[in-house]
């Protein structure tokens, strides 16, 4: 699940506009995505919301819109959120979007590929 966080001034009035925009994405992809949009609270006059995208739907959008790959981001999810933000601004929808902090596996040091380990026979050849 790709979780996009966003903020706006009045979520109750903006949610239908967000869902209409997502509907145009679904129409363009010819697929009904498993997408949800829900409020996550209010603070200092801002309404915060989450949009949940199915990774398969995002993969379908990647095939249709190659501009997603051209965005500046470290991974596909970040590129998708940058592209989505630009598309919303083109549609006159001003929201501040960012990729939610998805828990990732913490790695210390570097990883070794177990298929490339040396075995004892190779060490004997080196002596």
Instruction: Tell me what pLDDT residue 111 has.
Output: 67
Q: Taking the chain (127 residues) in consecutive chunks of 10 residues, what is each chunk's mean pLDDT? A: 87 88 85 84 88 87 85 85 89 86 64 68 74
Asked if 23 and 51 touch (Cβ cutoff 8 Å), the reply is: no
Which residues lie below 8 Å from residue 12, measured CB to CB, with a gap of 6+?
47
Instruction: Tell me what pLDDT residue 93 has.
Output: 84
What is the rounded CA–CA span in Å between residue 71 and residue 64?
15
DSSP 45: T
Instruction: Tell me what pLDDT residue 114 has.
Output: 66
- What structural domains does the chain harbor? 2-102 (3.30.70)
- The residues facing 48 across adjacent strands are 7, 41
**Is 0.75 surpassed by the pTM of this model?**
no
């Amino acid at each position: 699940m790709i979780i996009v966080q966003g903020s706006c001034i009045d979520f109750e009035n903006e949610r239908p506009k967000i869902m209409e925009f997502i509907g145009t994405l679904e129409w363009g992809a010819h697929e009904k995505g498993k997408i949800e949009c829900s409020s996550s609270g209010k603070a200092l006059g801002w309404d915060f919301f989450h949009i949940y995208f199915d990774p398969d739907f995002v993969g379908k959008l990647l095939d249709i819109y190659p501009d997603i790959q051209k965005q500046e981001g470290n991974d596909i999810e970040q590129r998708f959120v940058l592209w989505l933000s630009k598309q919303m601004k083109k549609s006159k929808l001003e929201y501040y979007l960012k990729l939610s902090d998805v828990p990732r596996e913490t790695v210390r040091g570097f990883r070794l590929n177990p298929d490339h380990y040396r075995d004892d026979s190779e060490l004997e050849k080196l002596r």
